[in-house]
């Protein structure tokens, strides 16, 4: 039973074949100073023994999964007496790998239908600080008193590979008065935006990395587009949300994430190029943004030979024509790392 006056919050964690990182993330969630009401684990059909690992750690119950069904099992975990309650662990095993886009779509759909007030969204490689949620909730309550528009909140996502507490895992951008991202502006250090922080928040969000979303707005925003599969789905959701909500990063709510690789050229490039051509439709100067992306992508493809060029050309063609969905053939197109 919900506590009187206490909004119910569910975390949604999407995972695929990263059982050690998933357990680390779940232990951080269960150790939050502000207790979660539920955690939804969306397992994108992992093949590395993820379910067995969770069973062995006592996080989920043993279960037989039946072919042809997306299965959900629930286990209630009692929290320490200081947290005064329990957390429901919902483990959802997908029939196939639906990518981050499909995973968040499924997790948000299920948790929203279950009646939670807020959803805290993250991949399995995020490590929230123990007071990350408590800090988000405190800032949420403060902003609710002074804001005229609904909003979503994000943790400050620091690079776990740097001990300086200043290097970001993902850059903070800037928003114009019309609500578009400023072209070419990326802040990779927290110290670069100190003068732009007001009331403890920065006007931006880094979606699906400790993002706290009000369920009541999903009817207007919509769920993540599962047809993106991977890459860009979080940006598409963010900019749909930006039409209805203000976007904030809470500076004192910290989470840690590996800094993403930017030098890899593999099949994932197809989804990045294709999907960002779609995402650019949310912004001003769409064709300028797309032209810049196309030129840079073709140059990158050419450096990786005929097959690399063919991959990029396919991505551009599909992006410009709006052809989405998972494309199995591109997953084996390249063997380049």
Tell me the pLDDT tens digit for each residue of 26-57: 999 999 999 999 999 999 999 999 999 999 99
pLDDT value at position 337?
A: 38
Confidence of residue 335 (pLDDT cuts 50, 70, 90): low
What mean pLDDT do residues 19-29 have?
Answer: 97
Distances (CA, A) of 76 to 40, 58, 112, 197, 315: 12, 10, 19, 39, 44
Question: How far, in Å, CA of 280 to CA of 174, rounded?
Answer: 16
Domains of the chain by start residue, with CATH: 9-257 (3.90.550.10), 268-332 (no CATH)
What mean pLDDT do residues 265-287 have?
Answer: 93
What mean pLDDT do residues 225-246 have?
Answer: 96
Question: To the nearest whole number, what is the mean pLDDT of the chain?
Answer: 92
pLDDT value at position 14?
A: 98
With a cut of 90, say whether residue 84 has pLDDT above it. no
Both tokens of 77, joined, read: 């975990």
Residue 274 in contact with residue 319, Cβ under 8 Å?
yes
CA dihedral 311, 317, 322, 328 (to 10 degrees): -30
């Amino acid at each position: 039973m919900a506590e009187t006056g206490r909004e119910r919050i569910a975390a949604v964690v999407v995972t695929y074949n990263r059982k050690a990182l998933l357990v680390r993330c779940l232990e951080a969630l269960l150790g939050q100073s502000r207790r979660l009401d539920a955690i939804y684990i969306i397992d994108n059909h992992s093949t590395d023994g993820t379910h067995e690992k969770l069973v062995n750690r006592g996080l989920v119950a043993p279960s037989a999964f039946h072919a042809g069904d997306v299965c959900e099992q629930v286990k209630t975990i009692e929290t320490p007496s200081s947290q005064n309650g329990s957390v429901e662990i919902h483990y959802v095993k997908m029939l196939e790998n639906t990518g981050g886009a499909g995973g968040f779509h499924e997790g948000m759909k299920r948790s929203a239908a279950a009646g939670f007030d807020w959803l805290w969204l993250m991949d399995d490689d995020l490590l929230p600080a123990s007071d990350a949620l408590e800090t988000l909730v405190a800032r949420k309550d403060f902003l609710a008193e002074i804001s005229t528009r609904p909003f979503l909140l994000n943790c400050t996502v620091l690079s776990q590979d740097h001990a300086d507490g200043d290097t970001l895992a993902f850059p903070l951008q800037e928003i114009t008065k019309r609500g578009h991202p400023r072209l070419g502006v990326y802040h990779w250090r927290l110290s670069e935006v100190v003068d732009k922080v007001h009331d403890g928040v920065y006007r931006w969000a880094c979606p699906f990395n400790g993002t706290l979303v009000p369920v009541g707005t999903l009817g207007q925003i919509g769920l993540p587009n599962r047809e993106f599969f991977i890459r860009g789905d979080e940006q598409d959701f963010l900019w749909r949300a930006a039409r209805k909500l203000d976007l904030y990063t809470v500076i004192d709510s910290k989470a840690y994430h590996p800094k993403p690789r930017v030098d890899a050229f593999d099949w994932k490039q197809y989804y990045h190029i294709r999907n960002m051509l779609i995402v650019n439709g949310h912004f001003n100067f769409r064709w300028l943004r797309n032209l810049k992306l196309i030129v840079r992508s073709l140059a990158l493809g050419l450096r990786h030979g005929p097959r690399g060029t063919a991959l990029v050309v396919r991505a551009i063609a599909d992006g410009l024509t709006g052809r989405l969905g998972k494309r199995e053939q591109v997953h084996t197109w390249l063997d380049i790392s």
